[in-house]
Structure 1
Amino acid sequence: MFFLLLLLKHTIPLAQPIISNDITQLNPIPISDIAQPTSTADVVELIKNHTGPISIAGGKYSMGGQTATDNALQIDIKKLNHILAFDPKKKEITVETGANWRQIQELIDPYNLSVQIMQSYADFTVGGSLSVNVHGRYVGEGPIILSVKQIKMVLADGSLITASPTENPTIFYGAIGGYGAMGVITEATFNLTDNTLLKRTSQQMLITQYYDYFQKYVNNNTHAVFHNTLIYPPDYKTVRAVTYVTTNEAPTISVRLQPKDQDYSKLHKQIALLSSSNLAKRFRKLYDRWQYSKKQVVWRNYEASYNVAELAPIATKEGSFVLQEYFMPTDQFDNFYPQLINILRKHNVNVLNISIRHAKKDSGSLLAWAKTDVFAFVIYYKQGVTSKDQQAVNRWTTELIDTAIEHQGSYYLPYQIIASQAQFEKAYPKAKQFFELKKQLDPNNKFRNKLLDRYAQY
């Protein structure tokens, strides 16, 4: 009886119906309840005592129902957010997976340490980042799995296991990038790296020049830490490559982390303007030329601690700002991007920009998006909210997925669930092995969400 009272304490009592949605507000899903555990022990008891479907949610920045399914208990991990161990000498940290990256940065920055791999924004939960196997703008790095020493995970029967590349490796490679299919990852241990001063360098060029530029100036540059390149719409002919390299110069920005209380209202107006006018998109190249001409020397943690609030509001009554991402083997760059651009033009997609990043090969996750070294093409666009708008997105997305597969590439799974079963299996050739492992660990299909429901081979 005492435990049941304790469990109810961590369950949010909400009136029916409970609707779960993501940051885009495009995917309302009715769920049965929401639970907010504060420890691994809470998660164990929740899973042991719940017989229906369970979904797992963090910041809900995935954009296609990856955190919910109909009538599921949604485990919200954001209160499972404690730092469990930190060893500055070993450059190692263990956290509960509801912690976000900013929380980690605030702890490790005074020790002049930095997260080895994370996405561009620091608001996301560790668990969400592991679930989608994120990457960032890091040169010489790749998916986050490359920085993970071990995880602890609660399985469908309530058992708690440890998994790493050497202990229960099959589960390790199924769980990271596995979208909660195998269980609830409650703890993770990461390698850290040094916080260093970085100088921003920038070069505008024709997109036809970029591949050679990357190979010559970025790919084997041991001083390069961050790199990404913007393709400018609406002509898609010009790119701006931005690289942060280590330096001994004094910082031009004294604070070591991005201020939490920044006013983003000006940036929000700029984003709205970009989405409303091709003229504004063209003007952006001139604005960026001025902006990037300024000298900037910052700490690595400053450049890694952006707040996703700078993009708000992501969802409005008229539309949502949405992402898609395609991964292309590096030697296919010049073959892929012309077709990417042709499809976006043909369908008049309202693209604000396309960001190009580079990632090293995945170490073995079953749903690996980087089966070799890849370029990532991150499309930031605006779409409407009507069924007609969604049908239009479905058409050009289907074409892009086919094009990516044609060039031995893949697409990223945290976004809208549009790919057919055949496309999914071609882009993720170990999907059958992935779902066979899920059957072993979760024979009653307890852990579910819309992504798993769509492609599960049960």
Structure 2
Amino acid sequence: MKNRKNVNFTLLKTYLVLLVALLFSCLNNKPKQEQNVVNDVTQLNPIKVRGIVTPKSTAEIINVVKNHKGSISIGGGRFSMGGQTATENAIQIDMRKYNHIVSFSKEQKEITVQAGIRWRELIQFIDKYDLSVKIMQTYANFTIGGSLSVNVHGRYVGQGPIILSVKSIKVILANGDFVMASATQNQEIFYATIGGYGGIGIIAEVTLSLTDNCKLERSDKVMDIKDYYKYFTSTIRNNDKVVFHNADIYPNTYDEIRAISYSKTDKELTIKDRLKPNDGSFAMNRFAIKTVSSSSFGKWIRKTIINPIYYENNPVEWRNYEATYDVKELEPSSRNKTTYVLEEYFVPVEKFDSFYPKMIKILKENEVNVMNISIRHAKQDPGSIMAWAKTEVFAFVIYYKQGVTNKDKKKVKEWTQQLINAALSEEGSYYLPYQIHATKEQFLKAYPNAKEFFKLKKKYDPDYKFKNKLFDAYYRN
């Protein structure tokens, strides 16, 4: 009996040693987090900064701006994908704890918030008053300041860049001044800061115009891509009932579209939740993305099996429910060998039929692993200097998978420059929050007011205090 106990004790010790070794091995396999390294969601752009500060008050931000003698960069959710929130040896101001609601008026349908608040937090607050935001991107994890900095848009029909819903902003300039700006007050600061990528100053507070929350019913229609422009202009473009709309192009054939709309309705809710839950594991979503990105067969499964099942019914839900997607549903288990990235191109609406064949040809010739292309609509920008919507436009949002080696990055740069040229040939543009692959010539052609913007940057930031990789590429020299 004694020998058996000794054997069991020896086995137990062995198991414990193996368990500890296994746990240690798992911990060692996790990527090490180097101190003061800022990266973005793609994990392609690690940037060593001098330090990171996380202010909770306006006074703290002003203190850093006034007293730090070197470079400053501004970060929020870090969903821009090319170093737009950092540069080497700068102090990064991480805005995410500067996130309070400053004031709110249900009667006037407006809210003022600190720029580090996330859309999810804002919507949770205004939902209690049956109000909703007018314009935002699809996912609610972004900070408000970050969204204004890149002048986001979403799936909102009859809307466009977020500047259309901004009543005013408060900005901290390079000299520490704290100024109010709007379309009627300090206009050049207002129109240079929104869509200005932190180049003019730090967006501290934002006052947004709100709208009513309402019930929406989803509907969808599958069609040939050649029929979409006529469908959109006749059915969606001037339809006041449609709130959200996008059209997904199916790779790898790129010849078919599923157009998806959410329209106002008085029907009974089929989804009772007012907001999407934000505590899920999203295992099914991630499995679907992995399947689609793995092969042409995976893309065929999505088109012929997954999507027809998903769109079989027409749910009725709250507008705010559709505005609270969590970006974690897109996050893969690892980005060590491959990663998922976005690119976006804008063309005037009347150029739809001439642009998409050029885009498809480039993607096919370069064998780009595209998971989805989403078509959105946006009205003309009212005056931001770095406007991407110089007219009424269609946005082509390309979600793709790429490798992380230098060879992979070089290949992406090649076909990205080809797509930029295709958009420019149709009097269009490309979006700046993504990887910085455009030549300076392409950049200046897509953003002809950039030289005016740089003059204003020189005026308000004469010592080039506010820096990031975007300005390193196109402004520094």
TM-score with structure 1 setting the length: 0.96
1:413 aligns with 2:422: no
SS of corresponding position for 2:97: coil
SS of corresponding position for 2:219: strand
Give the match for residue 136 of structure 1.
154
Give the match for residue 457 of structure 2.
438
1:223 aligns with 2:241: yes
Give the match for residue 301 of structure 1.
320
Give the CA deviation at 1:453: 1.0
The runs of at least 4 aligned residues of structure 1 exceeding 3 Å deviation read none
Return closer, same or farther for 1:239/1:16 CA change in 2, 3 Å cut-off.
Answer: closer
Distance, in Å, in 2 between the alignment partners of 1:457 and 1:374 is: 30
Distance, in Å, in 1 between the alignment partners of 2:403 and 2:34 is: 28
Distance, in Å, in 2 between the alignment partners of 1:307 and 1:18 is: 26
Give the CA deviation at 1:295: 2.2
Distance, in Å, in 2 between the alignment partners of 1:18 and 1:245 is: 46
Give the match for residue 283 of structure 2.
265
Give the CA deviation at 1:18: 2.1
How many correspondences in the alignment? Answer: 444
- Rg bigger for which structure? 2
2:402 pairs with 372, 383, 397, which one? Answer: 383
**Residue identity (%):** 55
2:80 pairs with 38, 41, 62, which one? Answer: 62
Answer whether contact 1:268 1:312 (CA < 8 A) is retained. Answer: yes
Give the match for residue 55 of structure 2.
37
Counterparts of residues 318-337 of structure 1 (less than 5 Å): 318-337=337-356
Give the match for residue 450 of structure 1.
469
Distance, in Å, in 1 between the alignment partners of 2:68 and 2:251 is: 49
Distance, in Å, in 1 between the alignment partners of 2:332 and 2:297 is: 22
Answer whether contact 2:292 2:301 (CA < 8 A) is retained. Answer: no
1:374 pairs with 389, 393, 415, which one? Answer: 393
SS of corresponding position for 2:386: coil
Distance, in Å, in 1 between the alignment partners of 2:104 and 2:289 is: 39
Answer whether contact 1:122 1:305 (CA < 8 A) is retained. Answer: yes
Give the match for residue 256 of structure 1.
274
Distance, in Å, in 1 between the alignment partners of 2:374 and 2:432 is: 17
Give the CA deviation at 1:17: 5.4
Distance, in Å, in 1 between the alignment partners of 2:403 and 2:295 is: 15
Give the CA deviation at 1:266: 1.1
SS of corresponding position for 1:78: helix
Give the match for residue 224 of structure 2.
206
The code of the aligned residue for 2:205 comes to E
The code of the aligned residue for 2:418 comes to E
Answer whether contact 2:218 2:262 (CA < 8 A) is retained. Answer: yes
Distance, in Å, in 1 between the alignment partners of 2:198 and 2:240 is: 36
Counterparts of residues 143-292 of structure 1 (less than 5 Å): 143-286=161-304, 287-292=306-311
Answer whether contact 1:25 1:315 (CA < 8 A) is retained. Answer: no
Answer whether contact 1:151 1:164 (CA < 8 A) is retained. Answer: yes
Give the CA deviation at 1:293: 1.7
Distance, in Å, in 1 between the alignment partners of 2:405 and 2:74 is: 28
Distance, in Å, in 2 between the alignment partners of 1:66 and 1:314 is: 25
The code of the aligned residue for 1:78 comes to R
TM-score with structure 2 setting the length: 0.92
Distance, in Å, in 1 between the alignment partners of 2:131 and 2:125 is: 9
Cα deviation code 1:312-365 (max 9, x no counterpart): 128511111000000010000000000000000000000001000000000111
Unpaired segments of 5 or more residues in structure 1? 1-14
2:40 pairs with 4, 22, 26, which one? Answer: 22
Give the CA deviation at 1:206: 0.4
SS of corresponding position for 2:128: helix
Over the aligned positions, Cα root-mean-square deviation in angstroms equals 1.1
SS of corresponding position for 1:171: helix
SS of corresponding position for 1:390: helix
Distance, in Å, in 1 between the alignment partners of 2:230 and 2:36 is: 52
Distance, in Å, in 1 between the alignment partners of 2:315 and 2:299 is: 24
Distance, in Å, in 1 between the alignment partners of 2:370 and 2:167 is: 38
The code of the aligned residue for 1:373 comes to E
Cα deviation code 1:31-63 (max 9, x no counterpart): 000001111111111100101000000000000
1:316 aligns with 2:339: no
The code of the aligned residue for 2:365 comes to K
Answer whether contact 1:229 1:240 (CA < 8 A) is retained. Answer: yes
